[in-house]
Amino acid sequence: MGFSLTDEQRALRDSVREFAQERIRPRAIELDRNGTYPEDILAELGERRLTGLTIPETYGGRGEGPVELAVVTEELAAALMPVASAVALHLGVAEVIERFGTEAQRERFLPEMATFDTVGALGLSEADAGSDKLRMETTAEREGDVWTLDGHKQWVTNFLDADEVLTYAKTGPDADAPHNVTAFLVPAERFEIEEVWETTGARPVKAVRVRLDDVSVPDDRRVGAVGEGYVNRGDLTTGVNVPARGVGIARAALDDTAAYVSDREQFDQRIGDFQGVRWGVAKMARRVDSARLLTLRAADRAARGDATDRAFPAAKIDATEAAVENANDAMQFHGGVGYTTEHHVERYLRDARLLTLAGGPNELHKDSLADTVLDGADEE
């Protein structure tokens, strides 16, 4: 059993950390305050092909796996979580094309996705299809080689910069569920924007509600077998980005707190010397360690092709709760200035809050985890 990253993984982590801390973090407060899209940052990540991190080298990517994705996502999220979201959702679209698409689709889309010249976004959720995605209203009907899509998608993160939206639509009756949903790559320009949400956090990369009215999509834009789109999602490994984003925020909150309480003095001593603060910092460190270990365990199992039925929900719940709790503690230990936009910690709390409810609310993951225990499907 190994608990260490390889030399290559450490080198990758260190180079992304340097970029994130030098190029993203100094601008994070301003980008968040103004809700400005970090276009140049994402373009630079494209030049470094971090936007092609898990895309195979044959198609111009870096050919890395879920562990490297977790490591890179933690670094990006520690600097500015929405940057990690945009990259991770894009890589999730690429994974679907790579795993379930045709060779022609891989050759057509993946090289430009690797450099972020083609940007992918996920169109799965809808107003009435939140936790229960099979309630989606969007339909696709086939006539010859052309599908006609009707409906809407809600919360499409990074839609405003996207070129291709991986869009899920019902292609069969509810009686066939879950084998009644098919995935399509729909050009972003074919959607009509209905709402650009103002959100509590994740402000620089917007989530959008969009409509599809009689949109024709050729069959060569269908990704995977008819009716298997929803089921195929259960096999994806890029989902580990969600807990990894939690680890990033939890760690950033700890680092900022350690620096602040080591410097700030009250009652003639550093506040970091009060036992209440020391024990709080220790608790924050334990949360980071357990969140990271669980996330890397899930990523490692996915990389080996092992089941993640238990490892993934455990990581998702633990790491996203760690992010919220550490951000909350960080604000407490920063006192009044932590409640201002002069420091990063108030943003950590707002950004962290998304992670326990998106990517499937934690309650759903608790049910999945309980299933693995009560059904006796312990993985180790």
Per-residue mark of binding to ligand FAD, 238-277 (x: CB under 6 A): ----------------------------------------
Signed CA dihedral, 148, 154, 157, 159: sign only: positive
Which 282-311 positions form the footprint of ligand FAD (CB under 6 A)?
none
- Does residue 156 belong to the site contacting ligand FAD (CB under 6 A)? yes
Nearest approach, Cβ of 165 to ligand FAD (angstroms)? 9
Per-residue mark of binding to ligand FAD, 170-199 (x: CB under 6 A): -----------------------------x
Residue 230: count other Cβ atoms within 10 Å of its Cβ. 20
Q: How many residues does the chain have?
A: 380
Which 60-119 positions form the footprint of ligand FAD (CB under 6 A)?
89
Of 42, 88, 185, 354, the one binding ligand FAD by CB under 6 A: 354
- Does residue 35 belong to the site contacting ligand FAD (CB under 6 A)? no
What DSSP line would sit under 239-273, residue for residue?
Answer: GGHHHHHHHHHHHHHHHHHHHHHHH-EETTEEGGG
362-374 vs 311-334: helix axis angle to the nearest 10?
A: 140
Which 200-239 positions form the footprint of ligand FAD (CB under 6 A)?
202, 207
Rounded to whole angstroms, how far apart are CA atoms 286 and 319? 11
Q: Which residues pair with 210 in a beta bridge?
A: 153, 193
Of 122, 169, 183, 277, the one binding ligand FAD by CB under 6 A: 122
Residue closer to ligand FAD by CB (options 86, 114) is: 86
Which H or E run includes 90? helix 66-100
- Does residue 56 belong to the site contacting ligand FAD (CB under 6 A)? no
Please name which of 188, 179, 166, 181 lies closest in space to residue 99, comparing C-alpha atoms: 166
Of 48, 190, 360, 368, the one binding ligand FAD by CB under 6 A: 360
Residue with smallest beta-carbon separation from ligand FAD: 130
Counting Cα atoms < 13 Å in the Cβ hemisphere of 205 gives 28
Q: Which residues bind ligand FAD (CB under 6 A)?
A: 89, 122, 124-125, 130-131, 155-157, 199, 202, 207, 354, 357-361, 363-364, 367
